[in-house]
Amino acid sequence: AQSVTQLGSHVSVSEGALVLLRCNYSSSVPPYLFWYVQYPNQGLQLLLKYTSAATLVKGINGFEAEFKKSETSFHLTKPSAHMSDAAEYFCAVMEYGNKLVFGAGTILRVKS
Amino acid sequence: SQTIHQWPATLVQPVGSPLSLECTVEGTSNPNLYWYRQAAGRGLQLLFYSVGIGQISSEVPQNLSASRPQDRQFILSSKKLLLSDSGFYLCAWSRDRGMFAEAFFGQGTRLTVV
């Protein structure tokens, strides 16, 4: 079975600083990986996805993620944090039937 | 364009009462439909998914059930709510073809069982 581990349930950065949210996956087949963002009391919005094309994936709002097979990782980064980036971020791996297996989520706090 | 509607947005129900949450999708046909639950401090857990009318797969044993009476309608129900049913419920859809098809989520329902 596939699984996702997000290291750090809470991450705090200063405005303008680098954002790094960690995600490691476990999969017996080539994975299809996603990052979603959730603002308070709202649904999830897709940030980016990896589907075995380029290993560096660019998403919305200046976020990007790099797929590293040797490290089984798919970390999310953004060069400069903005206050509006404060939200909860979920990494997910897709199973057969387009079912998503989510990590526990990381709450990002941006300090002014 | 496709849209997904989920209601109600918030709900407070007493223990033992019934539950019905509704989700509808517009602008697409034969979508895969999903119900996820997000409990406080935990990630999202897939509860049910459906690949067609009347076809429901349950991912975890629980006090809830799901139905798909129409192609673009997905309903989450319970006959008697438990305190542990509290959480944030999210409906989602994806295209029926393609392994890489991302899921599109509704705005969610915050359920509090008291």
pLDDT, tens digit only, all 114 positions of chain B: 889 999 999 999 999 999 999 999 999 989 999 999 988 767 889 999 999 999 999 988 788 999 999 999 999 999 999 999 999 999 999 986 666 678 899 999 999 999
Q: Which tens digits make up the pLDDT trace of A3-29?
A: 899 999 999 999 999 999 999 999 877
CB contact under 8 A, B100 and A100: no
**DSSP E strand stretches across A18-105:** 19-21, 24-26, 33-38, 44-50, 56-58, 64-68, 73-78, 87-95, 99-102
Q: Rounded to a whole number, what is the distance in Å from the CA of A79 to chain B's nearest CA?
A: 25
* B7 near A CB under 8 A: no
Of B95, B106, B97, B96, the C-alpha closest to B24 is: B106
Burial class (CB in 10 A: 0-12, 13-18, 19+), A6: buried
For the cut 90, the answer to whether the pLDDT of residue A97 exceeds it is no
CB contact under 8 A, B44 and A42: no
Q: What pLDDT is stored for residue B62 in this prediction?
A: 81
CB contact under 8 A, B110 and A96: no
